[in-house]
Structure 1
Amino acid sequence: MGGTMTAESVEHGPCWPMPPPDGYTVDDLFTLPDLPPHTELIDGSLVFVSPQRDFHTIVIDLLVSGFRRTAPAEVRVRREMTVVLDRRNGPEPDVSILRAEAITGRTQTRYAAKDVLLAVEVVSPDSESRDRDTKPHKYAAAGIPHFWLVDMAGEDGHPVVQVYERGDATGTYTLTGIHHEHVKVTVPYHIDIDLTAIDEL
């Protein structure tokens, strides 16, 4: 016996609540039901992530494995986890290097900015302005000492890594190097990554 379709029974997808007058808070980010994966909070607004390019995924894989290869015992490497900068900002860096003591258990969903040594953003077409301008400014203001911005360059689509360090006096990032084929740095620890290895992934 067929059922009757009513207006109430038609699914229109998720129904998002109206944002509060002052915007959402980090607490809302973790308590609102049915948010899509990798939702970020920027200046009190929820930001949804578009489908990512293959470049984005394989660069994250390349960096995570490179970071872990030389990571000392006192740090941990995490991908796509929320970092709480303040009450109204909970971005999700593509990769974070954290103090090991910041890891409290397998059910953990966020880290505090004070525990992040390096935040990495791989530029995506839909989030280019946030990746290049908004997030680095906020990461520096929150005291995260190191920031990397990764772009796709050239006809072969290879990664180019811009390395930044936060000045204590200015509270802002200064570009310390641009790396096309190889990243070799000594801060936040000795890191040595062959960027051309992306062709094997």
Structure 2
Amino acid sequence: MGAVMAAEAPVHATEETWAFPPADGWTFDQVKDLDLPFDWELVDGKIVVRGQPSVWHNRVRRKLANALDLAVTEPHTVDDETCVMLDPHNVRKPDVIVYDPTGLSLLETGCVPVAHLALAVEVVSPGSRSDDRILKPALFAQAKVPYYWRVERTREDRAVVHEYWLNAETRSYFPAPPHPVHREKLATDHPYPVQLDLTELTAGL
């Protein structure tokens, strides 16, 4: 009797099979067309559910993206809640990104390749502290994203921005030397000149 042929790996994930990835994990091409009732990221080939952000988180993310967009200089562009492909098995969705769209067809691009990023911004939530403070900066640094901002919520519900620069040799971030922590005002020249009144991010909350 001939050997039993191994079952072929699924070509695409479906709404019924997304939770059961093949041995090598899903790739973005296999899951990009899924219509799932929740927001998700692809982590080591597995679909991971993203938590529901608070009103504070959404307000800060949106206003910060708007401020970066108003100050943007060519060739950069700004988006929020846009997926970034680290590799085919890892797709993350930073709160805000600044990137160079040169060579990308934005109407057809399902995910921004990480090599195009100039800045990744994460607004920390109770359910994402370890990811935003440890894991994601390590991933973006390994991918050579030049700048990373982490936005923390103070006890007074204000927004504080921690600015990091990339050490290209070690592929790790270090606190920005001039002003590593921005509390009421943010002023930086990286990835382009930006000045922002941080108190405006939470005005009205």
Aligned to 2:168: 168
Report deviation, 1:137. Answer: 0.7
Counterparts of 2:31 and 2:158, CA distance in 1: 34
1:119 and 2:136 matched: no
List per-residue Cα deviations over 1:79-111 (Å, max 9, x = no partner): 011100112210001000011315413343210
Look up the equivalent residue of 2:164 and give its one-letter code.
Y
In structure 2, do the counterparts of structure 1 residues 199 and 151 end up closer, same or farther at CA, with 3 Å as the change threshold? closer
2:85, 2:111 within 8 Å by CA — same for their partners in 1?
yes
SS at match of 1:100: coil
Deviation at 1:157, TM superposition (A): 0.5
Deviation of the 1:49 alpha carbon? 1.5
Equivalenced residues, count: 186
Aligned residues: CA RMSD = 1.7
State how far apart, in whole Å, the 2-side matches of 1:198 and 1:130 are. Answer: 23
- TM-score, normalised with respect to structure 1: 0.86
User: Which residue matches 1:57?
Assistant: 58
1:129 alignment partner, SS class: helix
Tell me the secondary structure at the aligned position of residue 165 of structure 1: strand
Distance 2:31 2:107 in 1: 19
Matched residue SS, 2:23: coil
Residue number in structure 2 paired with 1:89: 90
Of Structure 1 and Structure 2, the greater helix share is in 1
Helix, strand or coil at the partner of 2:90: coil
Do the aligned residues in 2 keep the contact of 1:102 with 1:111 (CA within 8 Å)? no
1:131 aligns with 2:103: no
**Partner SS state of residue 149, structure 1:** strand
Aligned-residue sequence identity (percent) comes to 31
CA displacement at 1:187 relative to structure 2: 0.9
How much does 1:164 deviate?
0.6
CA distance in 2, matches of 1:149, 1:102: 28
Query: In 2, distance between residues paired with 1:112 and 1:98?
Result: 9
**Mapped partners of 1:163, 1:120: distance in 2:** 9
8 Å CA contact 1:36, 1:48 repeated in 2:
no
Cα deviation, residue 127, structure 1: 2.0
